[in-house]
């Protein structure tokens, strides 16, 4: 399933990776946060109920008690069975917190399982759910995001859809002012006002495999509402730019800045969400 150009991205490589560019929004100071993403792969024949029980215990005893972790999600790939791909997402406020969060984690682990044999047994079981292959990447948030409402975050007991759109940007400049202006315009006039898009999280590469990565995460209630969100985006864009020729030019403008684009769909686990 390819959703290229459904959620447009309109900005330049040089702008995206300038910290000053994203420092202010409507006169308010923008403070980026750091997003740590670990991609894991489930072992064969994992019992999902058993897995959830163990991860729930770890979440309640460790992750949820770590005050430096601002947000936490475990995302499960929507289309792959047997937990074959999961993403563990942790958000912290500062670079310094990255080291501190690990120290607090160890303290909480030792407190939760003071007996060494019990601690070893628990983590052997937890590790048995996953293959040895994993990857870790760190991103930093960028401006013009749209946060999930507290009401939906706190009261929703059904999994949310996380549509992850990964853009690999070009390393050449075109019309900087126009591209960046169009991006802000589209996000503010369409993404933020689309009732089906409950949250929008844009973030860029900080440490990882490809420095050209710019990732956009769209959160919706269901797969059906993801389809509605896409159709609504198209309708809103048509109203924003009624002229077919100008709209085509608009689409071509942002297309020049994207070398490649891919997307995945994940479900979160509400009881493991912070």
Full pLDDT tens readout for the chain, 274 residues? 444 434 443 333 333 333 333 333 444 688 999 999 999 999 988 999 999 999 999 999 999 999 999 999 999 999 986 799 999 999 999 999 998 999 999 999 999 999 999 999 999 999 999 999 999 999 999 999 999 988 887 777 899 999 999 988 877 655 556 667 778 888 999 999 999 999 999 999 999 878 889 999 999 999 999 999 999 999 999 999 999 999 988 877 766 777 788 999 999 999 999 9
Domain finish residue from 87, 107, 141:
141
| Final residue belonging to a domain, choices 141, 168, 191 | 141
Considering the domain architecture, whether residues 107 and 154 belong to the same structural domain is answered as: no
77 shares a domain with 172: no
Confidence (pLDDT) at 147: 93
pLDDT of residue 150: 81
Do 136 and 10 contact (CB within 8 A), yes or no? Answer: no
Query: Structural domain tally of the chain?
Result: 2
What gap in Å lies between CA 69 and CA 181, rounded to an integer? 33
Residues 49 and 136 in one domain: yes
> Domain check: are 130 and 181 in the same one?
no
**Domain termination residue (choose one: 80, 110, 141):** 141
Residue 122 sits in the same domain as residue 202: no
What Cα–Cα distance (Å) separates residue 1 from each residue in 147, 163, 205, 227, 262? 26, 12, 24, 12, 10
Q: What is the pLDDT of residue 101?
A: 96
Residue 27 pLDDT: 47
- Domain check: are 155 and 208 in the same one? yes
122/182 same-domain check: no
* pLDDT attached to residue 9: 39
pLDDT at residue 173, as a whole number: 59
Question: Do 178 and 48 share a domain, yes or no?
Answer: no
**Same structural domain, 135 and 152:** no
Do 17 and 41 belong to one domain?
A: no
CATH number for position 79: 3.30.70.100
- Answer yes or no: are the C-beta atoms of 116 and 186 closer than 8 Å: no
The parent domain of residue 89 ranges over 33-141
- Quick one: pLDDT at residue 178? 64
Coil/strand/helix, residue 8: coil
Let me know whether 73 and 135 are in one domain. Answer: yes
Alpha carbons 176 and 199: distance in angstroms, whole number:
27
Q: What is each CA distance from 51 to 58, 128, 138, 148, 237, in whole angstroms?
A: 11, 9, 25, 27, 43
Q: How far is CA 64 from CA 72, 83, 115, in A?
A: 8, 22, 21
Q: What is the predicted pLDDT for the residue at 151?
A: 80
Judgement on whether residues 128 and 185 belong to the same structural domain of the protein = no
Residue 169: predicted pLDDT: 80
């Amino acid at each position: 399933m390819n959703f290229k150009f459904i959620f447009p991205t309109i900005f330049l490589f040089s702008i995206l990776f300038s910290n000053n560019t994203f420092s202010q929004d409507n006169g308010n100071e923008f403070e980026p946060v750091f997003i740590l993403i670990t991609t894991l792969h489930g072992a064969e024949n994992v019992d999902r109920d058993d897995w959830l029980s163990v991860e729930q215990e770890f979440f309640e005893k460790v992750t949820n008690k770590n005050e430096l972790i601002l947000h936490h999600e475990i995302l499960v790939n929507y289309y792959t069975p047997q937990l074959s791909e999961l993403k563990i997402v942790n958000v912290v406020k500062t670079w310094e917190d990255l080291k501190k969060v690990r120290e607090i984690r160890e303290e909480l682990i030792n407190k939760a399982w003071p007996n060494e044999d019990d601690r070893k047994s628990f983590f052997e079981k937890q590790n048995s759910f996953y293959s040895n292959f994993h990857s870790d990447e760190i991103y930093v948030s960028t401006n013009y995001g749209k946060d999930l409402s507290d009401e939906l975050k706190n009261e929703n007991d059904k999994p949310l859809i996380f549509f992850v759109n990964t853009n690999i940007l070009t390393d050449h400049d075109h019309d900087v002012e126009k591209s960046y202006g169009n991006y802000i315009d589209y996000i503010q006039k369409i993404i933020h006002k689309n009732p089906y898009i409950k949250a929008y999280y844009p973030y860029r590469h900080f440490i990882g495999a490809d420095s050209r990565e710019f990732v956009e995460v769209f959160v919706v209630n269901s797969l059906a509402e993801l389809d509605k969100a896409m159709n609504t985006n198209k309708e809103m864009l048509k109203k924003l730019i009624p002229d077919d020729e100008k709209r085509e030019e608009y689409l071509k403008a942002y297309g020049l800045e994207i070398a490649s684009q891919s997307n995945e769909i994940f479900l979160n686990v509400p009881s493991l969400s912070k």
